[in-house]
Structure 1
Amino acid sequence: MKIKNIVLIITMLLLFPLVSAAQLKFEREYRIQPEVTPPTARAFIDAINPDLKIKWYKEESSQGISIEAKFIYVGKKYSIEFDTLGNIQDAEFIIKKSDINPVVYRNMEVHLDSLYNNWKFQKIQKQYKGKPEDIITSINNDKPNPAVETAYEIVLKGKSSGIAHLYEVTFNEHGEIHHFEQIIQEKADHLEY
């Protein structure tokens, strides 16, 4: 399976020139049982609400291995990512374009228009980073704690020079690009959110 992924990546690099200086992103996710997740990750989720129905995943990506908890809480689809020791990396939840401050959204548009001839959002997530207790407070209060770093992680289809690719772009709270990667897709057999 790993050789297949390596061959796929090499093929993509040879056949499709990068539109920009974006890094390549590939990931593989699969379900795991709660018992094999780090206790600190389970304790974090219990601090939000011990009655949540959690789906746990192990993710192998170009950044390494992580553990994800996915659940719906107060009507929002959350994805909480932990390192393999159970330390929180970030908390994300799906939002609509209309949930983004218009000034921030306009800044995003300006940056994306400079990179692509055409682009379209596929998925928008608001992201929280910070101390575990501040992230838990933000989730439970349904608004960011002032101590939490807020960002937007967006999957978009971008077209430049007649070639379209999927990208994951992270914008800071002001709508400035913080990081972006071209997504190398592999057939997924699970629901992503």
Structure 2
Amino acid sequence: MNTARIIIAIGFMFFSFVAEAQQKYEREYRIKSEIVPQSAKEFIDSISSDSKIKWYKEISLNDITIEAKFKHDKKKFSVEFDTLGKLQDVEFVIKKREIIPEVYNQMERKLDSLFHKWKFRKIQKHYSGKSIDVVTSIRENEPSDSIKVSYEIVLKGKKIQYTQLYEITFNEQGEMENILEIIQDKADHLEY
């Protein structure tokens, strides 16, 4: 009888976790710089004038955005704008060791509580706020007090027998803010 209760409790926890994770789907299309809003191009020029910029239109479940991808100071950057060229956020890839140890330990405890096993695919530091403050933070390689800093982690997580890719957002203190189950496009997996 106790075994049945344990199995039911585990099943309930598993399905409630899967149900609470919202879904994320994104599709990117390369676009020419001629159709990018001028304000978006000017923002990118203020950060990096010597890098090759690749522009994308990104379609998600809720939104359409314009995204610039480039390298700056040996880091991969992704800058997202709305369709009118207003800055939404800046992300850049970092290594695990670049996260303050106390913050990383907080994240790790949360991930251990959510998943049986997990493995990082990508870690990004995320800046949002006023354009001028974001530019200053990127140039000085140090976030100003006036911008919001968070971490966006893509990982492969296993819960019981269910393995899936997730995007998890943590705040600057390492507290989880959001979890999204990544929907992969079947066309991405075709092998020729």
User: Any idea what SS the aligned residue of 1:50 has?
Assistant: coil
Indicate the larger mover: 90-99 or 138-147. 138-147
Cα distance in 2 for partners of 1:183, 1:133 equals: 32
**Which protein is bigger by CA-based radius of gyration?**
2
Please state if 1:34 is matched with 2:50.
no
Cα distance in 2 for partners of 1:98, 1:20 equals: 32
Cα distance in 1 for partners of 2:29, 2:144 equals: 31
- Which structure is higher in helix share? 2
Amino-acid identity (%): 54
Q: Deviations over 1:62-89 (max 9, x none)?
A: 1310000000011110000001111111
Computed over aligned residues only, the root mean square deviation of the Cα atoms, in angstroms, reads 1.4
Summarize the alignment of residues 93-112 of structure 1 with structure 2, pairs less than 5 Å apart. Answer: 93-112=92-111
Q: Deviations over 1:144-170 (max 9, x none)?
A: 112111000000011102110000001
Q: Could you list the runs of 4 or more consecutive aligned residues of structure 1 that deviate by over 6 angstroms after TM superposition?
A: none
Cα distance in 1 for partners of 2:188, 2:144 equals: 34
Q: Deviations over 1:94-126 (max 9, x none)?
A: 000111111001110111111111111100000
Shift of 1:188: 4.5
Shift of 1:141: 0.9
User: Any idea what SS the aligned residue of 2:18 has?
Assistant: coil
Residue type of the alignment partner of 1:180: I
Cα distance in 2 for partners of 1:24, 1:68 equals: 20
Cα distance in 1 for partners of 2:21, 2:34 equals: 37
Residue type of the alignment partner of 1:185: Q
Shift of 1:53: 1.3
Flag the 1:144–1:159 CA change in 2: closer, same or farther, 3 A: same
Residue type of the alignment partner of 1:140: R
Cα distance in 2 for partners of 1:63, 1:140 equals: 31
Q: Which runs of 5+ in 2 are unaligned?
A: 1-14
Residue type of the alignment partner of 1:182: E
Please state if 1:118 is matched with 2:117.
yes
Residue type of the alignment partner of 1:50: S
Cα distance in 2 for partners of 1:75, 1:51 equals: 12
Cα distance in 1 for partners of 2:115, 2:19 equals: 9
Cα distance in 1 for partners of 2:161, 2:32 equals: 44
Shift of 1:52: 2.6
Residue type of the alignment partner of 1:75: K
Please state if 1:75 is matched with 2:70.
no
Shift of 1:20: 4.5
Q: How many residues align?
A: 173
User: Any idea what SS the aligned residue of 1:19 has?
Assistant: helix
Q: Report the equivalent of 1:86.
A: 85
Shift of 1:51: 3.0
Residue type of the alignment partner of 2:30: R
Residue type of the alignment partner of 1:109: E
Cα distance in 1 for partners of 2:24, 2:50 equals: 34
Summarize the alignment of residues 180-191 of structure 1 with structure 2, pairs less than 5 Å apart. Answer: 180-186=179-185, 187-188=187-188
Cα distance in 2 for partners of 1:20, 1:137 equals: 40
TM-score of the superposed pair, with normalisation by structure 2: 0.86
Q: Report the equivalent of 2:6.
A: none
